[in-house]
Structure 1
């Protein structure tokens, strides 16, 4: 009977457990300071927007709580009754700018997030169908995408809102129509690569229906580039909504929005009341910069051709 093997000090060390793709992605993401800064800005923006009803000093859209004597007060002023300190000042309607920014972030993030998610869903389906069937289906769908992308986004949104009218839901519909073509083009490009792989051929040989092949097998493998585009496009959607509201064709005056807050203070800029537009503009810039920093680094991690 042979003796059991005895481990000695010279035995080979146990190799480390290999990283999963998500562990590698997290490690490389956290190693980039700009990406971490963008993530911190993004998380702070979302938390402020979600917790606005609890952390805002005032409900800026409750008319009963506004005092006309507090109109256009500079930053650091106290209210007429001494109950509130307006750290960022007030606007022409006597609303606390800090509270209005908190509520405005909620509207901007909701409009941008809902429109991007809906555009992602529509565009992904269109792109996958075009790549899977090819032929005249691909040609027809891509010509529609080309026509959509040939027009400036702001022009299409302005025309749609001129037809639909003002309202948060109208702005969301307009942004969905403006954005879906970007996702369709990206989804088609990723799906063409997946279409030629063996697992798709195996699924076809098993007589699986094309909806199941697209949604269950091809779509998960096409999601990484679409997630990156969605992150960057969210910043674009927020900026576009703010532009439309600033022009007076987006969110109505009675709804909180960063673009509407900037527009409300624009007429007072020459009279020295800079803070009415300045601080909402800073909040808008922080949200967009955070999203862009996160999206740019995700693009570099998930697509090595873009790595610098």
Structure 2
């Protein structure tokens, strides 16, 4: 008696995107980091709607509630300060939500702008070569030879406080990282056959660089941008803590930590502690997710 066996359907091969998602989900640390990033982004985006209080509304603040500990009910009985209040009677939970909004906004905008500038400089240097490459890379070397915090401090001491000033300083201290990385990735692509073929077809250099070479350089640049985002948020917090970053009227997480630093010795730990925890959550989440992206976006996994 012969038993006919039905053919087993072959498993469909995964696309590069599906492999990246699958590899990313296999790491618990990466997923945990992504959850922290999503939580931080959610708080930042929806801060005006989920905050119990508008910390920028001076008319809504009561100085009788200044520096009260966590879990204290407001003097008017309308709300509970779950994380306490600061010296200006601002609800710390609401201030943290708005502070996360400012910190993430400054970090994301500065990194995207620095990425755009650095990519253009790096790709042009790699494709042009010769004297153009030498001049651009010497400028990059000069920028990378100085500590970022020192350059930012000097720039802000000249320009003054303000979110726009912080953005300019962060862009100026970060673009060189992307330029160096973009040039290294572009040099690898420069000698490949598809670039030589495009050159033989007399395609415009701009089209070759930005339409053909740039997409193949993006995986490594995305990883660097993710890590740089965490660094930018930490750098902005440091500048604000030192008093040269965002103004007091627009407190970021670093400014909130600075505001509570003088009260630590008096036992009012919550004014600095909870903003510090929120800052650590955002930075740790970005670092965990970005570190695993370095592995899953390896060019070998994208083939």
Normalised TM-score (structure 1): 0.95
Aligned counterpart, 1:62: 57
Q: Does 1:248 align with 2:243?
A: yes
**After alignment, is 213-222 or 10-19 more displaced?**
10-19
Q: 1:300 & 1:256 partners in 2: Cα distance?
A: 36
Report which structure shows greater RCO (CA 8 Å, sep ≥6).
Answer: 2
**One of 196, 201, 205 as aligned partner of 2:191:** 196
1:4 is aligned to none
- Of 216, 223, 229, the residue aligned with 2:224 is 229
Corresponding residue number in structure 1 for 2:206:
211
Partner of 1:279: 274
Residue 219 of structure 2 contacts residue 299 of structure 2 at CA under 8 Å; is this kept in 1?
no
CA distance in 1, matches of 2:199, 2:295: 33
CA distance in 2, matches of 1:211, 1:49: 37
Partner residue in 2 for 1:108 = 103
Q: CA deviation at 1:302?
A: 2.1
Residue in structure 1 matched with residue 120 of structure 2 by the alignment: 125
Measured in 2, the distance between the counterparts of 1:48 and 1:250 equals 22
Cα distance in 1 for partners of 2:299, 2:27 equals 16
Offset at residue 303 of structure 1 (A): 3.0
Report the TM-score when normalising by structure 2: 0.96
Deviations 1:179-200 (A, max 9, x none): 0000001000100011011111
Residues 114-148 of structure 1: per-residue CA shift (max 9 Å, x gap): 00000000000100001101111111111111111
The runs of 5 or more residues in structure 2 that have no matched partner are: none
Q: CA RMSD in A?
A: 1.2
1:85 aligns with 2:80: yes
Runs of 4 or more, structure 1, over 6 Å off, are: none
Deviation at 1:9, TM superposition (A): 3.2
Q: Please list every run of 5 or more consecutive structure 1 residues that lacks an aligned counterpart in the other structure.
A: 1-7
Which residue number in structure 2 is paired with residue 97 of structure 1?
Answer: 92
Per-residue Cα deviation, 1:69-102 (whole angstroms, up to 9, x for no partner) = 0000000001111111000000000000000000
Deviation at 1:256, TM superposition (A): 2.5
Q: Distance in 1 between matches of 2:86 and 2:261?
A: 11
Q: CA deviation at 1:11?
A: 5.5
